[in-house]
Structure 1
Amino acid sequence: MESITTKAIASALGGIKSAIDIATKLSEVSDAIKQADLKLQLAELVEKLADAKIQLSKVKIELNDKDEEISDLKQLLKQNAELKFNENYGLYEAEKDGKTVRYCTKCHAEGKLIPVQETASRFECKRCDQTYRRPEYVPQTRVIRGG
């Protein structure tokens, strides 16, 4: 027969073995939790890097837009330096390829350089529909002859 002491020792050993098993499982779970936490932190890091890449792409697009705007403004400054205002017509003019090109004053005030179309009596801007009279134009009068 087993004594109470042997039973108690066996029971204690069983309890210790159970405690060791539980501790081992907790350790494994703890390692799994640590790994899950590391994976979560790594996923957050990847997300932040992706956000940073998106922001840098937006900044790149904005810089390209600004570069284009600067280029356009430089071109406009160069063109404005070449323009002369013709008070007779009320238009801006510049020489291009040996020809005088006239530009709409209204569009020029809006930062646009739009050539006008010439007719015998006036200049017309097709963008804004502004017309400029040619002072040298003298309308022909009709002579009605009686019969």
Structure 2
Amino acid sequence: MDREIAYGAIGARLETKLNETGLSRNEQAESLGISRSALATYISLERIPSASTVARAVDRFDIDPRWLLTGDERDRITRDQWVAVLSAFVELKAIMDRLFKDRIGWHQASHDDRMKVYRAGETLYEIGGISALNACANALYEGNPGAQLGAGDMLNHLFNGIGPWRA
């Protein structure tokens, strides 16, 4: 059963892992390619890290992405699964950006685009369930609540489509 994700908790989980590194906050921030003040806003739960920051943290500090995004402590996902998740993020962002730019809603999207979104979402769902889908919408459009809502709406349609496939 999926839990509701507390998006700010990503920063708290990130802090937990960063504290295990033995590096200073400056070194941690530098390793993530962000400023110390940006890192501080993630840790203080004021902001959600971007997808690229999450990807760097997972890679550089060997953090389980499912756990980082959702708090789920099931078996650690493999590097191949992580690559699949990142590829799904990239695919989703490209499609959603194009749909937003052209002001095309989910129901007006081409069959090909909808199938790509379904495939990407199925990958995300297999890794982290609905929490990963929600985290995806928020991470892809950090700082843009309107786009987050639009992406979340598309991902909800996607999730509704995944259910029958799993039956």
TM over 0.5: no
The structure richer in strand per residue is 1
The structure richer in helix per residue is 2
Length-normalised TM-score, structure 1: 0.23
Larger Rg: 1
| Greater relative contact order, per chain length (Cα 8 Å cut-off, separation 6+) | 2
